[in-house]
Structure 1
Amino acid sequence: MDYLAEKLAAQGYAVLAPDLAPVFVGQLARGGSYDQTRAWRRVVLDQVESLSRAVDQSEARKRLVGSDSEADARVRAVDTSSILWIAHSRSGMMIRAAAEEAAKAGITTRGALYLATAHDVGNNEGESLDDPPLDVPSLGIVGGRDRDVPSDSVQWAAAHFGVDRRSPLAVATVGSFGHTQFNAAPELADDRLDCGSKPASPSCPSGEEARALMVTTAVGWAKAVDDASFPSFMTDAATAVPSEWLGYRADWFVHTLAPRRVLVDAAQEPAARALKTEDASVQRCRIVDLMEPVAPGTTSCPDDSDVVARPGGPYLLADWKPGGTLSVSTGQPSTAARTVVLHLMPFRKSDPAGVQLDIRVASSRVALGSDTPGLRIPGVGDDGAKTTTVRVPLPPGTAGASVTLGSDTSAGGVLITGMELVTSPPGTG
């Protein structure tokens, strides 16, 4: 990842880029007699502590830079009081442990950038859901054709959508990039099985394009964290979720910041009972990896879906017949309601393109077409549907007592992670 470190350093950041390859052994990052989390944390924090000593102590600085006076001056100017974590692949699941250890040394975490990161999502036997993302400004990027961890970061973040946050969090599935492309190590083969021998194209962008995307993303995100100049869709749930990232198609999970009212949270056991049905059904289930042992007590979603969905959950599988509906109470009606937010993915398509869905609140009705992100079928080469955030704006003054989902004309089905009602900021509704 030196290419990324060098570009960030050119912007004035002090960058530590440890070689963590010797830390990881096999596929198991946690458990066993060798504590890889502890080793990762120790390698990273040893370097942080070494740099901190060099800032403050001339002898330590001399050991680091020798007699180079320019380097000596630069090291003395380094601020080691805070860290922006940038992690790729399995390092993503290590950030929380390292940040907590750094905090003991008085070093704060000011933000995080997750690049195609791996996380436990609690599907398989012996695996629990990773703790929520740190409540710091966080951005995740995963390639649309990643065959290693195609949905880990999305499903992990989405599984914690019900946790209140003060800081923005969004994860994008971008373009047709693979997993290994974000790393410049020449021995890493392209994980996109049909792209290795093909020239670069929109369906097989090159490694150079992938690394250019990473550089622009990392430099831009570091500046956004420094200036609190975040994209408006990450901070205001009334803003439309974009369909691109840096010119490439992107599907997004975006955490909704307060003020909001969580209507349905599939992670909660009573969630299915919150939805009333008419010519429709709802059940709580998980999409499981059939090649792995399933956790005891897990209810698998039926395997007769006509859409490939990535492992994750729990979800609410909502099915409806033509004219069927599912509705959920909004609690106390409020004229400050601005937006209905759905975190969902298609499961049974209404037409070849995807699912058609109607949303009703009071007298307001919005028809979402099958090309809507979150309802459309993944494109050629994509590795399955993932939880996607859909925002439905409401007319001013909407004060319905329930939100109703369904379709007047077609049957369909979706996997719901959660639903929210976004209200106006205090004093503006």
Structure 2
Amino acid sequence: MQWLADQLARRGYAVLVPDLAPVYIPASTSKPYSQEAAVQAVFERMMTAITAGGGALGVDAKAVDASRPALIAHSRSGLVGDRMARAWAGGTHPISTILAYGPTYDLARSSPSGRWGPPHPDVPYLSIMGDHDQDTGTDSAEFLAYWITAPRRSAAMVLTVPGYGHNYLNRALSAAKIDDRTDCERGCPTAAEHERMFGEVAGSWLDTTVRGRASAWPIRADQALPSRILGLPGRFLAVSNAPGRVSLLAGSRAERPVVSRGVTSTVCNFRPPMQPSDVGSGYCPEADLGTVMTYEMPLRRLEFKRSGTARWAVPAAAANADSVRLQISPTGDRGKTNPGTPLRLVVRDTRGAAFAMNLNPRHPALANRATANTNGSYQVGTLQVTLDRVRGWQRPGTPRRLASVQLEAGAGSAIVLRSIDIVPRATR
């Protein structure tokens, strides 16, 4: 990753790039030793050398401000991010931000509740995930989706970028043309484009979270999710850090919606593809075409056998709402030419007045991912609606108070929801 260090150094950052290859020789991350603990020890020794000043690393480090280090990780190094954030939180150099590219968490193959906790609530977290990544796949999106309702005081998000893979951030792999991607004979980003994209993301993210510069990265509670950022489509899974956020966990049986006739509402989860023998009740029906890459977490599946509605009551504590975030996914392909899953959002105020907005089926969270050559791959994404943009909701004087959220869809539609997040107005 020397190329990334060079780019960041030109922006004024001091960058340490340890050679972690010896740490990762065993296939197991825990035997015969903990790779997480080993990586943390490497970084701690390097930070000790930097903070001691002098020339312990072969350079004069006296001018380096090591008080707010940022951690950038790729692949298996993503394992150590939260561990280091928690271990260093009370020290002289707490982790100020985490940026990961294709990190592995093994969530699709192990129990997240047994091994992983939510990302540190006080450390901004961004994962970049290539939608052609055939190595770690959707691990970071699954990780964040699993902990979607955990309270946060800083932003946490996954940005999925089209066409990018896993290996080409590593020049040894790109020089040998070891590309993990499939269906990439034409038009996929080159190794140079991988480096350019992630270099721009890293510089911009650090400028925003370390230096405090204004940007389009939605790190504040009052920022909307951008439709594009740094020229990339805004396909986000994002957890709001708004104080007072209320999450209706859509997979909870206690928060089931009221549905109209012809609409089925069930709680289920998707079976990991490498566990075909793990059958039983509680699993969502597999799509005829396409794959939902969100495993082993409860989801609310809504199937519209006829045009109908599903409505959730909003707790009184969340009535002073500014926006609604749907953590949502289609359940599979909708044909090669259909743009996506059309939905209509209806919000009601506490006086019973209803206001509606048609949601764009091409929104990244609803879009059809099928191509001429492949079936689509789907994951939970964030669709944010600011209530003042719903026609008729905004009014002079006393703001309206939110009483319910309703989704409407036509016959043949099906979606899954991880949660519905109500973001309070007071944060804007």
CA pair 148-355 structure 1, distance change in 2 beyond 3 A? same
Find the counterpart in structure 2 of residue 317 from structure 1. 301
Per-residue CA distance 1:362-409 (angstroms, 9 max, x = gap): 2111112321221112253686111110012322244342111122x3
Find the counterpart in structure 1 of residue 180 from structure 2. 191
Larger mean CA deviation between 103-112 and 288-297 belongs to 288-297
CA pair 152-405 structure 1, distance change in 2 beyond 3 A? same
Find the counterpart in structure 1 of residue 259 from structure 2. 277
How far apart in 2 are the matches of 1:239 and 1:321?
Answer: 37
1:355 aligns with 2:357: no
Letter of the structure 2 residue corresponding to residue 388 of structure 1: G
Question: CA shift at 1:137, angstroms?
Answer: 1.7
Find the counterpart in structure 1 of residue 39 from structure 2. 40
Question: CA shift at 1:193, angstroms?
Answer: 2.5
Cα contact 2:155–2:220 (8 A) shared by 1? no
Select 1:332's aligned residue among 316, 321, 329.
316
Question: CA shift at 1:122, angstroms?
Answer: 5.9
Larger mean CA deviation between 236-245 and 39-48 belongs to 236-245
1:107 aligns with 2:96: no
Cα contact 2:322–2:423 (8 A) shared by 1? yes
Larger mean CA deviation between 160-169 and 277-286 belongs to 277-286
Find the counterpart in structure 2 of residue 147 from structure 1. 134
Cα contact 2:322–2:386 (8 A) shared by 1? yes
Question: CA shift at 1:177, angstroms?
Answer: 0.8
Cα contact 1:265–1:418 (8 A) shared by 2? yes
Per-residue CA distance 1:223-265 (angstroms, 9 max, x = gap): 1112333545624566543333322334111111224543421
Find the counterpart in structure 1 of residue 6 from structure 2. 6
Larger mean CA deviation between 388-397 and 97-106 belongs to 97-106
Letter of the structure 2 residue corresponding to residue 9 of structure 1: A
CA pair 292-348 structure 1, distance change in 2 beyond 3 A? closer
1:302 aligns with 2:285: yes
Aligned length: 405
Cα contact 1:180–1:188 (8 A) shared by 2? no
TM-score, normalised via structure 1 length? 0.85
TM-score, normalised via structure 2 length? 0.85
Cα contact 1:144–1:150 (8 A) shared by 2? yes
Letter of the structure 2 residue corresponding to residue 148 of structure 1: D
Any idea what SS the aligned residue of 1:287 has?
Answer: coil
Larger mean CA deviation between 167-176 and 257-266 belongs to 257-266
How far apart in 1 are the matches of 2:22 and 2:279?
Answer: 34
Cα contact 1:336–1:399 (8 A) shared by 2? yes
Structure 2: unaligned runs, 5 residues or longer? 349-353, 388-392
Find the counterpart in structure 2 of residue 68 from structure 1. none
How far apart in 1 are the matches of 2:145 and 2:5?
Answer: 29
Cα contact 1:260–1:423 (8 A) shared by 2? yes
Structure 1: unaligned runs, 5 residues or longer? 66-70
How far apart in 1 are the matches of 2:323 and 2:379?
Answer: 22
Per-residue CA distance 1:25-53 (angstroms, 9 max, x = gap): 45432x33322222222222222222223
How far apart in 2 are the matches of 1:388 and 1:216?
Answer: 23
Find the counterpart in structure 1 of residue 237 from structure 2. 253
Cα contact 1:333–1:400 (8 A) shared by 2? no
Cα contact 1:137–1:167 (8 A) shared by 2? yes
Question: CA shift at 1:127, angstroms?
Answer: 7.8
Find the counterpart in structure 2 of residue 288 from structure 1. 271
Larger mean CA deviation between 254-263 and 211-220 belongs to 254-263
Q: Percent identity?
A: 27
Find the counterpart in structure 2 of residue 374 from structure 1. 365
Find the counterpart in structure 1 of residue 168 from structure 2. 181
CA pair 338-148 structure 1, distance change in 2 beyond 3 A? same
How far apart in 2 are the matches of 1:296 and 1:378?
Answer: 27
How far apart in 1 are the matches of 2:356 and 2:221?
Answer: 19
Per-residue CA distance 1:41-78 (angstroms, 9 max, x = gap): 2222222222223x1xx4xx2x532xxxxx43xx1111
Cα contact 1:338–1:423 (8 A) shared by 2? yes
